[in-house]
Amino acid sequence: MTISVPAVPYDFELDPESTALVIIDMQRDFLEPGGFGSLLGNDVSLLQRTVAPLQAVLAAARASGMLVIHTREGHRPDLADAPPAKLARGHLSCGIGDPGPFGRILIRGEHGHDIIDELAPAEGEPILDKPGKGAFYATDLELLLRNGGITRLIVTGVTTEVCVHTTVREANDRGFECLVLSDCVGSYFPEFHEVGLQMIAAQGGIFGWVAASSELLAQLPVTTHIS
């Protein structure tokens, strides 16, 4: 069943059977006070605004039968998969692998690396651990999508101009059509968020489409039932 979602620059058409909801890096290290983002002095409330709308979208996507994929940015405990340049960049006061209130920062298996409780993955939903900003880089995301007959992505998560943007660009170059939900993505920098969204939909949708989650929710069918 194809639905049409009012979006910028024009309606985004999708069939839940060939569409995946991709939730990018909704991890404690980026979203919660005490995580990596907050330790660097960022205002994490700017990211927390995405949680409630994303909970609604997640519930609706599950009810429509849509594939839901979660990603997490992070590294192996020995940091063998972290480029030295990434570790050294910025001369930060704390960095990847350092100890913090939520365990070692952005290290797989640590409390801070995991997804926030409000958006906990359900049984069977793929969780992709990625070492980079883009969700396609050094992961099997493209394989999962192609094998699942997925051609369109609803992209959500954090941060708008970093991991969301990189992933949308990667997806676009691979021929996937992306709808970014404006209230389900967030940035520590409000101006980057706004311009980042404009950059996606500009030039006739150079990277994809942008819509508020309410536009999608108004159209999504409920096809699964709790027995």
Q: Which residues are catalytic?
A: 25, 130, 163
Between 4 and 198, whose beta carbon lies closer to ligand TIU? 198
- Site of interaction with ligand TIU (CB under 6 A): 25, 30, 73, 133, 158-159, 162-163, 188
DSSP 3-state assignment of 186?
A: strand
State in angstroms the smallest separation of the CB of 223 from ligand TIU: 31
DSSP 3-state assignment of 155?
A: strand
Q: Tell me if 179 sits within 8 A of 207, measured CB to CB.
A: no
Between 16 and 196, whose beta carbon lies closer to ligand TIU? 196
Kindly tell me the number of DSSP H helices and DSSP E strands found in the chain: 9, 10
A 10 A CB-CB count for 159 gives 25
Between 68 and 135, whose beta carbon lies closer to ligand TIU? 135
State in angstroms the smallest separation of the CB of 29 from ligand TIU: 9
State in angstroms the smallest separation of the CB of 162 from ligand TIU: 3
Secondary structure E strands in the chain: 3-5, 12-14, 19-24, 67-73, 99-100, 103-104, 127-130, 152-158, 177-186, 209-211
A 10 A CB-CB count for 137 gives 13
Encoded tokens for 95: 């960095």
State in angstroms the smallest separation of the CB of 133 from ligand TIU: 6
- Residue 121: which residues within 8 A CB-CB, separation 6 or more? 68, 70, 115, 127
State in angstroms the smallest separation of the CB of 164 from ligand TIU: 7
Output the DSSP codes for 97-148.
T-EETTEETTBTTSGGGSBPGGGPPPTT--EEEESSSSSSTTSSHHHHHHHT
Between 5 and 178, whose beta carbon lies closer to ligand TIU? 178
Between 30 and 102, whose beta carbon lies closer to ligand TIU? 30
DSSP 3-state assignment of 16?
A: helix
